[in-house]
Amino acid sequence: NAGVMQNPRHLVRRRGQEARLRCSPMKGHSHVYWYRQLPEEGLKFMVYLQKENIIDESGMPKERFSAEFPKEGPSILRIQQVVRGDSAAYFCASSPGGAGGATGYGYTFGSGTRLTVV
Amino acid sequence: GENVEQHPSTLSVQEGDSAVIKCTYSDSASNYFPWYKQELGKGPQLIIDIRSNVGEKKDQRIAVTLNKTAKHFSLHITETQPEDSAVYFCAASKGASYDKVIFGPGTSLSVIP
């Protein structure tokens, strides 16, 4: 049973290019979350998606960033016109249900995509 | 929104000693508190979690305590081993079913052999 799969592991982009990060959740998990981690910092929430729905995008910058989780295929985090400040590790997590409530679930994280903007 | 604070930011202990990491949260509606361990170059891994209807939970050398009145929760690692060296994150989630987890800033634990 494969875990959360993220690819690529490392991505180098020049300023102004687009970055596409992919995440395939664990089998049976329909909730996907994206977090950003700057060097020596914590995990900052970006966006929470279910299949074909964005549940919460309160942590995602309004410009240049978008996310989707289509009916078929992986979740995609897209960063347009990347800048040096976008360099970070981007982690995807999945769960079988939401994290809140009396029956909230813990996350399973992928190994992350390390984005470097040069 | 929810805010989670964590102390200390770095912690060094001798092998065999105990390590304690403390967290506070701001939203009294939070009711799920997971802890994650992140080793260098890897994604965070869930190691233990506790819900608000429980004051303490133990799993071998790891224990978590929760004080809902004070909005404090702590991770205790006993008989530390070098492989416990990692960054540890506490986190909190609110009561809504469709909610995400908010993380603390992390504690870098070093266990000295």
**Would you call A9 an interface residue with chain B, using a CB distance cutoff of 8 Å?**
no
Which one-letter DSSP state was computed for residue B68?
Answer: T
Give the pLDDT score at A39.
Answer: 79
Give the SS3 label for residue B39.
Answer: coil
Kind and range of the H or E run holding B49: strand B45-51
Report residues of chain A scoring pLDDT below 70.
Answer: 1, 99-104
8 Å CB contact of A104 and B99: yes
Residues constituting chain A: 118
Tell whether the model's pLDDT for residue B75 goes beyond 60: yes
Give the pLDDT score at A101.
Answer: 52
In the sheet with B56-59, reading across from the earlier edge strand, the strands are B4-7, B19-25, B72-77, B62-67, B56-59
8 Å CB contact of A101 and B95: yes
From A98, which residue of chain B is nearest by alpha-carbon distance?
B98
Query: What mean pLDDT comes out for the span B44-60?
Result: 90
pLDDT digits (tens, 9 = 90+) for A95-112: 887 766 555 677 899 999
Give the pLDDT score at A80.
Answer: 98
Query: What mean pLDDT comes out for the span B24-51?
Result: 92
**Would you call A55 an interface residue with chain B, using a CB distance cutoff of 8 Å?**
yes
Query: What mean pLDDT comes out for the span B53-65?
Result: 92
Enumerate the residues of chain A whose CB falls inside 8 A of the CB of residue B95.
100-102
Give the pLDDT score at A104.
Answer: 62
From A41, which residue of chain B is nearest by alpha-carbon distance?
B105
CA-closest candidate to residue B46, choices A44, A5, A30, A94: A94
Torsion of CA A100, B86, B22, A42, to 10 degrees: -60
**Would you call A99 an interface residue with chain B, using a CB distance cutoff of 8 Å?**
yes
Q: How many CB atoms lie within 10 A of CB A36?
A: 22
**Would you call A46 an interface residue with chain B, using a CB distance cutoff of 8 Å?**
no
Residue of B53 and B21 predicted with greater confidence: B21
Residue of A5, A7, A43, A92 to mutate for B, most B C-beta atoms under 10 A: A43
Give the pLDDT score at B74.
Answer: 98
**Tokens in use for A21?**
């990060």
Query: What mean pLDDT comes out for the span B29-55?
Result: 90
* Share of residues in chain B with pLDDT > 90 (%): 80
**Tokens in use for B4?**
């989670």
8 Å CB contact of A101 and B44: no
Give the pLDDT score at A30.
Answer: 87
Task: Annotate chain A with three-state secondary structure.
Answer: CCCCEEECCEEEECCCCCEEEEEECCCCCCEEEEEEECCCCCEEEEEEEECCEEEECCCCCCCCEEEECCCCCCEEEEECCCCHHHCEEEEEEEECCCCCCCCCCCCEECCCEEEEEC
From B100, which residue of chain A is nearest by alpha-carbon distance?
A99
